[in-house]
Amino acid sequence: MHDTARPVFLHAGWRTAGTWLWSAFRRRDEVLGLYEPLNESLATLTLRTLGSMRPAATPTSNHPDEQRPYFEEFAPLFSSRTPGVAGFRREFVYDSFFIAPDTEYPELRHYLESLVQLAQTNGKTPVMKFCRALGRVGWMRKNFPDAAQIFVMRDPFSQWMSAWRLSNDDDNPHHLLAPMRVWTLHKDHPLVALVVKALRISASDFVLPTKHAPSRKAVRTTPAHILYRGFLAFWLLTAYLALPECELAIETERLNESDYRLHVQREVESLTGIAVDLSDARSLGNVATSNDFFGAAQAHEDALRALALLEDIAPAGGKAPGPILREKLTEQVQIAS
């Protein structure tokens, strides 16, 4: 293992190209790529069904075209007698989404430690990609101080449109409803209440079906502008919390710019000791609209006001996230107007 190798935690939202970035790490011989350690599927998968979850099964996701199952590296942690990964608990997924850095949560810490140990026992560097950790990056940083924390972000409207298209093209509403699930579970959290109110929505605007057919109906019956505002509130608060806790932020819509891509590659290698090749980056640039799709311009204006409230009520430690978030939201206002 490289002398400077550290565990790597990639923190991404849904539809940010986080899986593509994780795959670039996974291709390296020195890496053990652990996909979505907090994914609810890890409670029910078995060694027999492990292979069913792979990119080829959902081609419209545009995930990297590789044959290996997403969760292949977890195989040693499965029991032949019971389903699920050893140490995983369902409450890890959303129930603890906003735990504070100093919260004692030994079950989650021991589970993630087991993944780090699995990699290091085999002489590998663990690279974990999370879509369900954005509200608790501070907790992970405190409990795993040796890990490189990297934030993967994308401009909000393009990110949401990717989820919207996947819902329509692949009949997969998960990425649209997951942020709403977080809101309804944590509606009493003071910062959640602040941003949801600022975006002029409420937890009562959303339903939480657990099965596919009701979820599909929920997406079709909830006004699109409400779904977008709910996502935008989620994007803003999670980025505000995650950015100061991470050593590197990667803006995936900029990776088609050669100078920026090379800069990211150098920064990643400096942080982790892993040389990744990002030359196959696709363009994920801003989605331009001429008719203010779903009232996006006003939604972004409201998000800018929510950001100002966050800065007043909960000043961020470390590197202030306000400038980059304000820049992205202002750019979105200009595009949608």
Q: What would the pLDDT profile of 269-319 be if each residue is shown by its tens digit? A: 999 999 999 999 876 655 544 446 678 889 999 999 999 999 999 877 678
Chain segment 208-218, per-residue pLDDT in tens: 655 555 666 77
Per-residue pLDDT, 283: 65
Question: What is the layout of strands, in order, in the sheet containing 148-153?
Answer: 31-35, 125-130, 8-12, 148-153, 248-251
Beta strand pairing call for 8-12 and 148-153: parallel
Looking at residue 81, what DSSP letter applies?
S
CB of 72 within 8 A of CB of 42? no
Per-residue pLDDT, 294: 73
Range 69-72, long-range pairs (CB < 8 A, 24+ positions): 70/35, 70/36, 71/35, 71/36, 71/39, 71/41, 71/42, 71/45
Per-residue pLDDT, 173: 79
Looking at residue 48, what DSSP letter applies?
T
The strand pairing partners of 251, in sequence order, are 153
Per-residue pLDDT, 167: 79
Per-residue pLDDT, 293: 67
Per-residue pLDDT, 213: 57
Per-residue pLDDT, 2: 42
**Could you give the maximum distance between any two Cα atoms of the chain, in Å?**
57
Per-residue pLDDT, 215: 61
- Terminal CA-to-CA distance of the chain, rounded, Å? 51
In this prediction, the residues of the chain whose per-residue pLDDT falls under 50 are 1-4, 288-291
Of the candidates 266, 256, 242, 258, the one whose C-alpha atom is nearest the C-alpha of residue 325 is: 242
Per-residue pLDDT, 174: 81
Of the candidates 67, 64, 5, 65, the one whose C-alpha atom is nearest the C-alpha of residue 31 is: 5
